[in-house]
Amino acid sequence: MNMSRHLTVVLLCTAMLLLNGCASTGPTRFYLLSPIGGDHAGGCPDGRTLSLGVGPIEVPRYLDRPQIMTRTSPNEIALAEFDLWAEPLKEGIPRILARNLQAQACARVEADAWKRPNRVDYMLVAVINRLDGVLGESAVLDVKWIVTDERSKETVLSKTSTYTETVATRDYRSLAASYSSLVAAFSRDVAESLASLSSGMGGPEE
């Protein structure tokens, strides 16, 4: 009897622990980067349209995970338990970048064009050095990017750009929106540089 009573107590305690664990588990939320609106269709001067390939966009290893990361101090980041990216950032960033450039640049934009070389006039490749933020404060994108002329295989533009965006509220929805704005600012700079190249004013920059 004592053994049976002891087993019953153990089972009840285990059940209570499981119930408490379930009660403390919040709903999982998923987020995506969003593109800007608009389209350049029919708006190119002289009817001229260049082709731009969005090549590989490298992201830091700490971002190559589904959980959203936030910065808690200059040398510390935190991992969100229930707030996740709906797709890997290494796939989402180039997808949204290509969508934005299609709307912002006077060019035909191809995603993953680096897998099919010699099909575009210019190729954009980038290495993201930093993409993180503090909830309710700000988010930062630091990116090294290069544009190459696919005909001559020469680098015609090389830059490192840093963008900062306010995170309106202390939640991950606002953080994801700020990331989208950061990518939009980056794509805007690429579009402006491409316009200079197409008009013959572009050249190597550091």
- Render pLDDT for 54-66 as a digit per residue (tens, 0 to 9): 989 999 999 999 9
Domain assignment present for residue 140? The answer is yes
User: 143-169, pLDDT tens digit by residue?
Assistant: 999 999 998 999 999 999 999 999 999
**Tens-place pLDDT, residues 89-105:** 999 999 999 999 999 98
Whichever domain contains 101, its CATH number is 3.40.50.10610
The helix (run of H) or strand (run of E) holding residue 195 is helix 172-198
Does residue 177 lie in a domain region? Answer: yes
Residue 206 within a domain = no
Residue 110 domain-assigned (yes or no): yes
Instruction: Tell me whether residue 180 is in a domain.
Output: yes
Q: Of 25-39, 41-55, 74-88, 185-199, where does the model show the most confidence?
A: 74-88
Q: In total, how many domains does the chain have?
A: 1
Domain of 85 in residue numbering reads as 2-198
Within its chain, how far is the Cα of 45 from the centroid?
Answer: 30
pTM of the model: 0.82
3-state secondary structure of 3: helix
In a domain, 204, yes or no: no
Cβ atoms of residues 183 and 141 within 8 Å: yes
The answer to the question of residue 74 being in a domain is: yes
Judge whether 203 lies within some domain: no
**Residue 129 buriedness (CB in 10 A; 0-12 / 13-18 / 19+):** middle
Contact yes or no for 41/97 (Cβ under 8 A): no
